[in-house]
A = this chain, B = another copy of it.
């Protein structure tokens, strides 16, 4: 029994995800699927990378993760396999896989060029179905990564910003806005400790042009309905949330906007 996870920007309207699963089941009927999401913003590699890196740590060892956010499909961007100490990743060489893979320590990266493990006809528009799906299926059956092509070292490494201090202010940016409207920053729980923030303190949050003071809490329901709270979310990043509301709409915040914190009073 092996597990294949799938992540893409395909949406749910078209048969594209099903075609990938059908190809995989044709090779390995025993595989189990888990859809991470297919609603990555179209062509948005950073959002795909963030989402994959959030989910991957919860999967069992030896999961094969297939991720397809692939604006360069059919051009000279390479299809790759990333082998880490925990898992295998299959997808385009555009940085999508590397944030997640780096957390698990990359052992080797291979370009996929052995046609034996691709569909007989490979389109230039849908490598998810024609290359990544059958490769993932064969990996899930135990074919060794080195069978698919040669090792490479020059794979694309995305740059992800990290938070830093500017005087007493902790300067980060918005990493993700989730479906609840929680505004998730790239500020980690370790960064917070350096700020000296403790539960119950009041903290100033500057989001783009908006500034406001909120309590630092530990649960959404600790503040009144409609009130904002700063807390550490399920992915260990600092987020601003509104209890039973939508912080993203309230503060008009989007991915990439600045997200700065400073201590008001404890």
Contacts and interface: CB of A to CB of B under 8 A. Distances in A.
Interface of A: 1, 3, 5, 10-16, 18-19, 21-23, 25-26, 29-30, 32, 34-39, 42-43, 51-52, 54-55, 58-60, 63, 71-75, 77, 123-126, 129-130, 178-180, 218-222, 231-234, 243-244
Nearest to A2: B29
A219 B74 contact: yes
Contacts of A219: 73-75, 124-125
B58 A23 contact: yes
Identical copies of this chain, number: 3
A43 B55 CA distance: 23
Nearest to A32: B25
Q: Which residue, A15, A19, A25, has most C-beta atoms of chain B within 10 A?
A: A15
Contact of A55 (B22, B25, B34, B77): B22
A71 B37 contact: no
Contact of A34 (B22, B39, B220, B222): B22
Contacts of A126: 233-234
Contact of A25 (B21, B60, B71, B123): B60
Contacts of A55: 15, 18-19, 22
Nearest to A11: B179
Contacts of A125: 219-220, 231-234
A98 to B, nearest CB: 17
A31 to B, nearest CB: 9
Contacts of A124: 218-219, 231
A79 to B, nearest CB: 13
A248 to B, nearest CB: 12
Contact of A179 (B10, B32, B63, B234): B10
Contacts of A29: 1, 3, 32, 60
A233 B124 CA distance: 8
Given A60-B29, A125-B231, A231-B124, A178 B14 contact: yes
Contact of A12 (B14, B23, B38, B77): B38
